[in-house]
Amino acid sequence: MGARVLVIGTISLCLVPGIDRAEAQTSDSEVLPAIEVVAPPTTSARPAARPTRGSAAPRPTRNVRRVLVYPTAPTPTVGSGMDVDKVPAAVNAVGAGQIARTSSPNIADALQQQVPGIVLSDTTGNPFMPDVQFRGFVASPVSGTPQGLAVYQNGMRINEAFGDTVNWDLIPTAAIRSVTVVTNNPAFGLNALGGAVNVQMKDGFNYKGAEINTMGGSFGRIQSSAQYGKQIDNVSVYGALEGVRDNGYRNFSESAIRRFYGDVGYRTDSSEFHLNVGLAKNNFGAAAAVPVELLQRYWGATYTTPQTTDNRVAYANLTGKVEATPTWTIEGSARVRAFRQKTVDGNPTETEPCDADSTLLCFNEDDTTPGAPANGLNGVQLANPFPDTAVLGQIDRTTTRSTTTGATLQATNTDQLFGHNNQFMVGASFDSGVTRFGASAELGTIGPNYVVSGSGIFLGRSGEPVSIGPVSLRATNRYTGIYALDTFDVTDAFSISGGGRFNYANIVLQDLIGTDLNGNHTFSRFNPMIGGTYKITPGLTAYAGYSEANRAPTPLELACADPARPCIAAAFLIADPPLKQVVSRTVEAGLRGTRELNIGTLGWKVGAFRATNADDILAIPSPELQGFGYFQNVGRTRRQGIEAQVNLTSKTLQLYASYALVDARFLDALQIGSPSPLAVDGNVQILPGNRIPAIPRNRVKFGIDYSITDAFKVGGDALFVGSQYFVGDESNQFARLPGYAVFNLHTSYQINKNLQIYGRVDNILDNRYAVYGTFFERGDVPNFANGGAEFTDPRSVSPARPRAFYAGLKATF
């Protein structure tokens, strides 16, 4: 009987085989793991003669085939997946070398550079907390953003339990081995509407040695990382530490990041086991969007602070893989993850002195409508302690504590079927999360620097019919999935894949103050997929596929879906009507290939996609309360486009260029609340064909690295992003947020075998542009920079970082 040998290795993004194992284990320039598949032994057709004493028996020849592996499920084991030539979808992979090229502690920067369909947005106003947008679907750290991407780290789902948010700052960037963006595959479970981001971490088997890397520069940036990996016989150890301190380019936008990742592994010829753990404690000043009138005076301006976020996480993940027989492989994982987040958010307030009696406070009062009493925590209307000249605001605080546990078990079989090569995979996963969420609002006053100073007076349940109130909630969500996928080689060139996943989600809400938030919601669905690949020539492959995915509403969305009970900063949860789950149907097709040229290896791909969402969920700004909003099913939406990329790799030159078009539109007519200055009675009318806001249509990327000598390298990259509609302008009536272009340069010099110095200049032309735009209520807070007059421009945007200089030293051992 033949044997199958597992080899831990990697190859470059251009997918060029031929790297030996020793090189693959230590290089940071490679992406996808490779395995060696050994075909059944072959001997002569004639019976072999019995060997005589002292003579060696004839050895069967081994037909070794080296294949590059692309993940087909969120399993934690390196080398698990499918031959990349048989993936019926676009292939997007980023390796450790490409991550290091950015000199950034944020993995999102490398994803934006290397994946055509990805662009970053900055809702928070902090570059370490970006929205990662792929094909118009988002993975964001901002509560209240409808999420559309599933994210896994070593097989552990890291979408947070309460709102499916993704805190990119918690991922230890130095310890990342590779990242793949997987599409057309429902095996990645809930929330993979646009796809899944699969992060594989380093271990002592594939990283050997030590590295210390320190960089500093503009805006008080200082960052350091250290990593070490070693293999001792069958045991490996790996550890990474990272620290970042950055004062930020805007007022009150300081950041501090502290992360640790460790892995202990053990393997034999037929098995491999790992225990990996991680810790992080990060603090951010998030300056958020700011009125353009303030930016015109000072690019570092902010509006209503403090706005801070404190993230902490601790996790442990036990993984294993066993080759039970030459054709059956069993792998699985068990994990636990504890997450805590605290936010402090200064905002304008709808609480003000009552018109009828200025000694009392009222809520949501205007010139035509009398306000309801603004109550304290005891339910009694608050007296007004503020002077007549005070500008009132409020400080909103939230606390989220989540503990998630889960397990995955998967079996893979590679027996031939009807004499043809076949790979069958079946698996199951279970994840459970328990969250305790609390929110409060403290009244205060807003100073001329837009800082909200608290008064010690807290709001209770206030307002009618539109109201808010403090929250104490316990949410339990249990997600179960069963999936199967089969890939069958019809011929040596033509392969078909089919399968699906059944998802079951149960979400229980328990109101710890009253009963308004109580609820028990269940969602289930089977999502199929089918696709195929055809190898036209050895260097050219065509692919096509169809798949479905679903997203159950999160506990946050379920508890904030009533226009009459909006949530401020996606925090103040009130009783709600039920939401429907989102179902996405995606079709994609394309070509990819490689070719050896005189100047290097050329890799390229071009593809098209169309994803149609039914019962899509959108965050709707409240027309009644500034900064408040709610979630609503908005019918059908569609995201479609094309992606093209080319890579050229040689000993002295690495070059990439890509283009992506993402056309995202509403398909159904709908009237929704909006803060747009063109809204009528606080609402705008969406018509079929209107573009979805905050999704740029065009993205162009280019990068180059050139080795002037073996030691001296220079490079640069460029990013062009098209215009987008402001959030709140779903009717597409207002002028769009302009597109932008940004250029970066970098260089490095290898002093000796162990030391390298490097530098970079970001936004070298010092372009001033914004990556996100929305509207704000002009009359809530005076324009202190203009003598206290009312703001005249309703636009509020997130300004991008100005020109910045950085230099660093890297030591490897």
Binned at pLDDT 50, 70 and 90, residue 31 comes out as low
Judge whether residue 577 has pLDDT over 70. no
Judge whether residue 638 has pLDDT over 60. yes
Pure H helices in 588-659: none
- Residue at token pair 């199951």: 428
In whole angstroms, what separates CA 107 from the centre of its chain? 9
Residues 6 or more apart in contact with residue 739 via CB below 8 angstroms: 696, 698, 720, 721, 722, 723, 724
Judge whether residue 44 has pLDDT over 60. no
HSE (side-chain half, CA atoms, 13 Å) at 751: 10
Q: Residue 10: what pLDDT?
A: 30
Residues 287-314 have a mean pLDDT of 93
DSSP letters, 302-360, are -SSB-EEEEEEEEEEEEEEEEE-SSSEEEEEEEEEEEEEEEEEEEEE-SEEE-SS-TTB
If one compares 75 and 237, the residue with the highest pLDDT of the two is: 237
Q: Residue 564: what pLDDT?
A: 61
| Of 56-70, 105-119, 562-576, 627-641, highest mean pLDDT | 105-119
Residues 6 or more apart in contact with residue 497 via CB below 8 angstroms: 82, 86, 88, 485, 486, 487, 488, 529, 530, 531, 532, 545
Q: Residue 371: what pLDDT?
A: 76
pLDDT tens, 664-683? 999 999 998 888 899 998 88
Q: Residue 487: what pLDDT?
A: 96
Mean pLDDT of the chain: 88
How much is the pTM?
0.90
Q: Residue 7: what pLDDT?
A: 33
Among the ranges given (3-7, 102-106, 300-304), the one the predictor scored with the smallest mean pLDDT: 3-7
Q: Residue 632: what pLDDT?
A: 83
Judge whether residue 54 has pLDDT over 70. no
Percent of the chain at pLDDT above 90? 73
Q: Name all contacts of 359-366 with Cβ < 8 Å and 24+ positions apart.
A: 359/383, 359/384, 360/384, 361/443, 363/459, 363/462, 363/463, 363/467, 364/463, 364/466, 364/624, 364/625
pLDDT tens, 708-758? 999 999 999 999 999 999 998 999 999 999 999 999 999 999 999 999 999
Q: Residue 187: what pLDDT?
A: 92
Judge whether residue 41 has pLDDT over 70. no
Q: Residue 123: what pLDDT?
A: 86
Rounded to whole angstroms, the Cα distance separating 523 from 550 reads 10
